[in-house]
Structure formats: structure tokens, C-alpha cells
């Protein structure tokens, strides 16, 4: 069995918002699917350990913000690699409370849906919530962000709690290193991996989200530079061997 076949499945990228009483939370997900058109029904699959799962279970509502291709890794990662139990993920974020009471994250969203859950399906580690779309709006024109684009172009990573997480070996997870024909590769071109989220800083690419141009070695990044995916600092990076 070659689980790399799963990498050929295609998905979008979404911010899922929900509430429990007056508490609001949101998380990144790639698992939104339209399942019926009349009435309009969609589903989302959420890890049982996530705070958003607890909120959807409690309130029976969720919102879906459909992300644009220009969404930076920092925006996607802020909702994906931290728990709402530790931080207020909506602090400093442009959002509004929809008619279901769920928060709708507006930053980098092309459109949004609001959903009332009709059914949920227990899937061991995850739950699939299925529900009718009760509100929907297009916010602006643009290209939706796909999961493939997130991985290939933005070099984003997948938390182990995501339903689409596939365990990768280091060789599969890290782009190929340029061979230097017997010479020691200069230290300044070493790649560094974030131990929190798995993001790899490649000096050949730089970090466009933080205006770091290609060619800047990891060692020369400013001390206040942070992981564009999860916000971890430079001390949380280790050299990719
Ligand atoms: Fe990170």
C-alpha cells in the first residue's frame, strides 16, 4: 500500500468558526465538502481533541471562511497550530458574528457559509458534522486557496491532528538538497525546520511573507523573525541534516 496516493486527493483551505455560549473559536480545516444542493448541505471533519469540535458539538453551528490564495502562512498557521484553549485566536483578527452566532473570519476570505448541524458521524479520532447552509455570502473575487497550492507553493505543513495528515519520512517531507559534489555544503545554505509545526526555512527561497528575499541564510535572519506558519521563534528551529 502506498499512502502517497492520498496526496493526490484535492482539497480547499478554510477557517471553521464556532461558539459555545459566548465563547468563540476558529480553526483551519481542509475538509469541507458540499454533499447536497437542494437543500444546500455541507460537511466538515474535525478532530475530537480540538476546541472547535467541542464548540460545534455544543452549539450545533459552524461557519466556513473560504480562503484566498493570497492568505499568508502566518494567517493559516495562526488558526492551525495553536489551540483556542491557550490563546484567543480571534484577537486582532477581522471577523464578525454571523446569524448563527458563529464567528466568521473575514481576513483573506473570498466567501463564507454558515451551517446548522443536522447530523454528526463519530469516526474514532474525528467527527464529521453535516448540516444545512443557512447563510452564504461572496466577499470578493479571487482565486481560492487549494491544499495542493498551500503545500507546494506556500510550503505549508499539516498538523498531526488533521484528518488528512499522512506520516512522512524526512526524505519525503523535505525538498531535495542541492548536491555539492563531495564538498561540504556551506553552512549558510542550511535549511532549518520548525520543531513546532514542521515548516522548513530554505535560504534559497527566503520567506516572502516576512519580506525575507531568497539568499538570506537562516543565521542572518533578524532575531525577531518568527516561523511564518506557527509564530515560533528562531530558537525553536533545528538544522535539517
Ligand atoms: Fe512553525
Torsion of CA 90, 95, 97, 101, to 10 degrees: -50
Ligand 1 centroid to residue 212 C-alpha, Å: 16
The helix or strand, by DSSP H or E, that contains position 101, with its residue range, turns out to be none
Chain position carrying cell 490563546: 87
Ligand 1 centroid to residue 27 C-alpha, Å: 16
- Chain centroid, CA 77 distance in Å: 5
Ligand 1 centroid to residue 132 C-alpha, Å: 35
What long-range pairs does 1-10 form, CB within 8 A, spacing at least 24?
3/166, 3/167, 4/166, 4/172, 6/164, 6/166, 7/166, 9/164, 10/146, 10/147, 10/148
For 52, list phi and psi in degrees, rounded to 5: -60, -35
Chain position carrying cell 485566536: 89
At residue 186, the pLDDT reads 54
Ligand 1 centroid to residue 110 C-alpha, Å: 25
91-104 burial, b at 16+ Cβ within 10 Å, e below that, comes to eebebeebebbbbb
Ligand 1 centroid to residue 200 C-alpha, Å: 8
Which residues are within 5 Å of ligand 1 (an ion), measured at CB? 194, 196-197, 199, 227, 229-230, 232
Ligand 1 centroid to residue 241 C-alpha, Å: 18
Cis bond before residue 39 (omega within 30° of 0): yes
At residue 230, the pLDDT reads 84
Ligand 1 centroid to residue 231 C-alpha, Å: 6
Ligand 1 centroid to residue 40 C-alpha, Å: 37
Ligand 1 centroid to residue 149 C-alpha, Å: 18
At residue 156, the pLDDT reads 79
At residue 187, the pLDDT reads 53
Ligand 1 centroid to residue 194 C-alpha, Å: 5
Q: Which residues of the chain are modeled with pLDDT < 70?
A: 167-187
* DSSP three-state, residue 138: strand
Ligand 1 centroid to residue 136 C-alpha, Å: 32
C-alpha cell at 214: 531568497
For 159, list phi and psi in degrees, rounded to 5: -65, 155
At residue 3, the pLDDT reads 93
Q: Tell which residue, 191, 68, 56, has the closest CA to residue 121.
A: 56
At residue 173, the pLDDT reads 38
Ligand 1 centroid to residue 234 C-alpha, Å: 10
C-alpha Rg value of the chain to the nearest Å: 19
Amino acid at each position: 500500500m502506498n499512502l502517497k496516493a492520498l496526496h493526490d486527493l484535492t482539497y480547499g483551505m478554510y477557517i471553521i468558526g464556532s461558539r459555545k455560549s459566548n465563547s468563540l473559536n476558529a480553526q483551519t480545516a481542509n475538509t469541507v465538502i458540499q454533499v447536497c444542493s437542494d437543500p444546500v448541505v455541507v460537511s466538515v471533519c474535525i478532530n475530537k481533541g480540538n476546541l472547535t469540535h467541542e464548540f460545534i458539538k455544543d452549539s450545533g453551528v459552524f461557519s466556513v471562511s473560504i480562503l484566498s490564495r493570497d492568505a499568508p502562512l502566518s494567517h493559516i498557521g495562526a488558526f492551525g497550530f495553536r489551540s483556542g484553549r491557550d490563546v484567543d485566536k480571534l484577537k486582532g483578527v477581522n471577523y464578525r458574528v454571523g446569524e448563527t452566532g458563529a464567528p466568521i473570519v473575514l481576513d483573506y476570505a473570498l466567501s463564507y457559509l454558515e451551517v446548522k448541524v443536522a447530523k454528526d458521524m463519530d469516526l474514532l479520532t474525528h467527527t464529521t458534522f453535516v448540516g444545512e447552509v443557512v447563510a452564504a455570502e461572496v466577499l470578493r473575487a479571487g482565486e481560492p486557496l487549494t491544499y495542493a497550492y498551500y503545500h507546494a507553493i506556500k510550503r505549508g505543513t499539516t498538523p498531526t491532528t488533521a484528518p488528512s495528515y499522512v506520516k512522512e519520512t524526512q526524505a519525503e517531507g523535505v525538498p531535495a538538497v542541492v548536491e555539492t559534489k563531495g564538498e561540504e555544503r556551506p553552512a549558510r545554505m542550511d535549511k532549518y525546520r520548525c520543531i513546532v509545526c514542521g515548516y522548513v526555512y530554505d535560504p534559497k527561497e527566503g520567506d516572502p511573507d516576512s519580506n525575507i528575499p531568497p539568499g538570506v541564510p537562516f543565521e542572518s535572519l533578524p532575531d525577531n523573525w518568527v516561523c511564518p506558519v506557527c509564530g515560533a521563534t528562531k530558537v525553536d528551529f533545528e538544522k535539517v541534516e
